[in-house]
């Protein structure tokens, strides 16, 4: 009887070992797959964190109080975020609207130089030839205002 209990107990333990080994291998594979996913997520979040640090550093260097940006790839928005303070007590978002300020000069200059590349005017041309109103400097009434003058203003 003792031998029979021992034998049954031993068989039971061996069965548990086989089941445990099987469960452990399946769980181990699951753990490896989860670890890989977790590592990918951590690397992605590390990349995001490093990107955030770069933006915040550039904002500090340039003394920008606020920044909203986005990345568009293949006509799809892949990233957007706001940094700093849009106004006191209000954080910017991807939808925050900023005043244009002097940025319009950049777009105007680019557009004019694209027209210049297409030989639609010369930099030394009088701008009044292209406008339906007169532009004149009151302190220099006889001097033509040229595109070059406007672009270096």
Phi then psi dihedrals of residue 136, to 5 deg: -150, 140
> Hey, which of 11-15, 35-39, 121-125 has the most confident mean pLDDT?
121-125
Please enumerate in sequence order all residues whose Cβ is within 8 A of that of 58, keeping only pairs 6 or more positions apart, or say none: 64
User: Can you tell me the distance from the alpha carbon of 42 to that of 33, in angstroms, rounded to the nearest whole number?
Assistant: 14
Span 60-118, pLDDT tens digits: 998 888 888 888 889 898 888 889 888 888 888 878 888 777 778 888 899 999 999 99
pTM as predicted: 0.42
- Residue pair 99/66 in contact (Cβ under 8 Å)? The answer is no
Q: How far is CA 23 from the centre of its chain?
A: 44
- Residue pair 80/64 in contact (Cβ under 8 Å)? The answer is no
Q: What's the pLDDT score for residue 5?
A: 46
């Amino acid at each position: 009887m003792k031998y029979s209990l021992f034998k049954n107990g031993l068989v039971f333990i061996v069965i548990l070992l086989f089941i445990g080994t099987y469960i452990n291998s399946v769980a181990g594979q699951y753990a490896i797959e989860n670890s890989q996913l977790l590592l990918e997520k951590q690397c992605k979040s590390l990349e995001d964190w490093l990107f955030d640090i770069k933006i915040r550093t550039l904002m500090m260097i340039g003394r920008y109080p606020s920044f909203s940006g986005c990345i568009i790839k293949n006509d799809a928005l892949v990233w957007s975020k706001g940094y700093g303070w849009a106004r006191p007590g209000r954080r910017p978002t991807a939808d925050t609207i900023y005043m244009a300020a002097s940025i319009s000069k950049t777009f105007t200059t680019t557009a004019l130089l694209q027209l210049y590349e297409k030989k639609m005017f010369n930099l030394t041309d009088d701008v009044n030839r292209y406008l339906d109103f007169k532009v004149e400097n009151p302190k220099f009434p006889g001097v033509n205002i040229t595109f070059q003058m406007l672009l270096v203003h």
